[in-house]
Chains A and B, each alone.
Chain A
Amino acid sequence: MALSASQLSVGDTHSEVLVEDLKRTQLVQYAGASGDYNPVHTDEKFVTEMAGYPTVFAHGMLTMGMTGALVTNYVGDARLTNYGVRFVNQVWPGDTLTGTAEVTDIREQDGTHLVDLLLTTVNQEGTPVLTGTATARIDP
């Protein structure tokens, strides 16, 4: 399941659809599981009347979680050493998100083989919603 340095090349990519037509209910699930009950994510009355947005929007951390699934599907479980992202644009109910991981470096550090990935998640219009990087331990 884990990646192997001997079979990887810089420039290799892995893409997945992370979610199709994101449901408001998933934002509720994420609020409940994460403990982040900020009403901008789940309370239509609050977010439109008080906060000035057209509707509820997803937690950035939900998008990070969904993109994280792409990364672990690619590199295997319990292999990540680093994962970091920037939230670039809002994610709204109805969005379809596609994530892509691109190999930017394959290296060795203290006898451990590592892969560095560049991550981009875009919505149905191709607009980036999240960018980031990850590093994972790989097999030789």
Chain B
Amino acid sequence: MAVERFAVEASHIMMFARAIGDPNPVYENESYAQGTEAGGIIAPPTFAQASAQFDPNYRLRPKIGEPWMGSGAEATGIAPKAPDEADDTPTGMGARGLHAEQHFEYHRHIRPGDILSTTVKPGETWEKQSKRAGTLKFSETVTEYRDQTGELVITARSIGVQTEKAVEN
């Protein structure tokens, strides 16, 4: 299921900018931002990925009342949920996968007040052999972010990889 409603908020942008360590005041100071070419607060370049917060099926977020693979008293033996047909994460990868590539095309920049929805399309899948990690299975997902007027805002392309074994550094 794609994201039906991702309401972009200034406070979320502020906390996201802090998390990536970017002190640029365009991400948190409205009066400063109004004096810039951006004309107001905008989201940092990778912010679209936070649409995961609004994906009801997102497997990497604990759900109230449901088993979770993270540790409690013990490391837990709960296996990560296998990908199911209707599921799509922003990264398009299985629960045991790694994020291989991410690409964004900006038709315009995201701003507080935008209400975004996504359309998710599977792309190619392919395999490669790796010395460090065995057989690698790649899969591509294309996510289109549109605003409440139907205008295309961001096109995101994500490539996930499932490794045969934990990658050795």
Give the total of A residues in contact with B, Cβ under 8 Å.
Answer: 49
Within 8 A of A (CB), among B36-80: 36-38, 42, 44-46, 49-50, 52-53, 58, 60-62, 69-71, 74-76
Q: Are A30 and B20 within 8 A (Cβ)?
A: yes
| A102 smallest CB distance to B (angstroms) | 18
A14-58 interface (Cβ within 8 A of B): 18-19, 26, 29-30, 32-39, 42-43, 45-46, 49-53
Report chain A residues within 8 Å CB of B50. Answer: 33-35
**Contacts A2-B37, A78-B109 given; does A86 touch B20 at CB 8 Å:** no
Cβ-defined contact, A64 with B19, below 8 A: no
**Which of A5-13, A67-75, A103-111 lies at the interface with chain B?**
A67-75
Q: Is B44 in contact with A65, judged by CB distance below 8 angstroms? A: yes
Q: With an 8 A cutoff between CB atoms, is B30 at the interface?
A: no
Among candidates A38, A61, A80, residue contacting B49 with C-beta atoms closer than 8 Å = A61
Proximity bits, A83-106, B CB within 8 Å = 1, else 0? 111110110000000000000000
CB-defined contacts of B38 to chain A, threshold 8 Å:
77-78
Q: Which of B22, B26, B74, B103 contacts A82 (CB 8 A)?
A: B103
Q: Can you offer 8 A-B residue contacts whose CB atoms are under 8 A?
A: A26-B21, A37-B70, A49-B75, A69-B44, A72-B24, A77-B24, A77-B36, A83-B46
Residue of B nearest to A23 (CB): B21
Whether B61 and A29, one on each chain, are in contact in the complex, defined by CB atoms closer than 8 angstroms, is no
How far apart are the CA atoms of A114 and B42 in the complex, in Å? 21
The answer, among A1, A34, A38, A81, for a CB contact under 8 Å with B19, is A34
A81 contacts B46, CB within 8 Å? no
Binds A, one of B10-18, B123-131, B145-153: B10-18
Q: Which residues of B contact A (CB under 8 A)?
A: 12, 15-16, 18-22, 24, 26, 36-38, 42, 44-46, 49-50, 52-53, 58, 60-62, 69-71, 74-76, 98-106, 109, 157, 165-167, 169
Q: Nearest Cβ distance between residue A57 and chain B, in whole angstroms? A: 10
Q: Contacts A37-B70, A52-B166, A77-B26 given: A66-B20 contact, CB under 8 Å?
A: yes
Q: Which residues of A contact B52 (CB under 8 A)?
A: 34-36
Whether A81 contacts B70 in the complex (CB less than 8 A), given A35-B58, A46-B75, A69-B22, comes out as no
Say how far A19's CB is from chain B's closest CB, in angstroms: 6
Which one of B15, B21, B61, B69 lies within 8 Å of A69 (CB-CB)?
B21
Q: How many Å from the CB of B113 to the closest CB on chain A?
A: 15
